[in-house]
Amino acid sequence: MIIFAVLGAVASPAQTPGAEAIAARYERPTPFPRETILPAGTLLRVRLEQTLDTKHNRAGDGFAGTVVAPVVANGVTVVPRGARAFGRVVEAKPSGRFRGRALLAFRLDAVEVRGRRYVVRTAVLTRTTAGHKKRNLAVIGGATGFGAAVGAIAGGGAAALIGAGSGAVAGTVTEAITGRKQVRLPVETPVYFRLRSPATIS
């Protein structure tokens, strides 16, 4: 009687946990945080899905990109690689023929995580071209010298002055044709944005 009582106590179904309960205890997934805040300064590495340039784009134009490196916070991937990113051109100023630099300024406005878009505020990225002044002098001055040489060969003296003048005109025309230099970021260009303020991803 005593032996049966002890065995019954050990093997009692009521006191033995089921297989499902044991599995649930050890295989319970780590829950994704309900809300994660990415601090200001967080880097978002994005590859452009389209070309941006000062010849065709204007302020207010939208653009899209793809996140190429996961953004991790507290050991959790908050923005996965491959997530889409969306931004806007802030300023686009084409280059003039004789003066002024081309300028392109743009920023990121949102990222898409698990089918939902989240607002982000990044610092504005700015790209500019070099100035025209030195190039103008080189082109026009070179053409002037060439014109003077031609004039000297033709007759010297006054002819040389005429040749110099015609050379300057030729140089100016050349600069007017070839002087425009634009900012251009081709498709798939990698660009790095930094958060200007914290962003909440849930």
Tens of pLDDT, residues 124-144: 999 998 765 554 444 444 444
- Report the pLDDT value the prediction gives residue 17, as an integer from 0 to 100: 55
Same domain for 117 and 46 = yes
Domain identity same for 92 and 109: yes
Whole-angstrom Cα Rg for the chain: 34
Domain residue limits at 127? 34-132+181-201
- If asked whether residues 112 and 150 sit together in one domain, one would say no
| Average pLDDT of the residues of the chain | 75
* Domain CATH number, residue 107: 2.40.128.260
Whether 22 is in a domain gets the answer no
Q: With contact defined as beta carbons under 8 Å apart, do 69 and 45 qualify?
A: yes
In a domain, 119, yes or no: yes
Quick: pLDDT tens for 46-61. 999 999 999 999 999 9
154 inside domain: yes
Same-domain check for residues 118 and 57: yes
- In DSSP notation, 112-128 reads EETTEEEE--BPPEEEE
pLDDT at position 148: 46
pLDDT above 70: residue 158 = no
Number of domains composing the chain: 2
Q: Are residues 123 and 163 in the same domain?
A: no
Together in a domain, 95 and 192: yes
117 shares its domain with 162: no
Q: pLDDT tens for residues 114-125?
A: 999 999 999 999
Please tell me which residue, 135 or 65, carries the higher pLDDT value: 65
Q: Following CA atoms 168, 135, 179, 129 in sequence, which dihedral angle do they give, to the nearest 10 degrees?
A: -160
The answer to whether residue 165 is domain-embedded is yes
In a domain, 87, yes or no: yes
Does the structure show a pLDDT above 50 at 106? yes
168 in the same domain as 86: no
User: 3-class secondary structure for 25-58?
Assistant: HHCCCCCCCCCEEECCCCEEEEEECCCEECCCCC
pLDDT at 155: 52
For 161-199, the pLDDT digits (tens) are: 434 444 444 433 333 333 468 999 999 999 999 999 999
What average pLDDT score do residues 88-100 get?
Answer: 84
Do 192 and 96 share a structural domain?
A: yes
- Whether the full predicted model's pTM is greater than 0.75, yes or no, is no
Which pLDDT score, from 0 to 100, does residue 140 have? 40
Residue 47's beta-bridge partner residues? 66, 190
One domain for residues 73 and 158: no
Q: Are residues 104 and 188 in the same domain?
A: yes
pLDDT of residue 173: 37
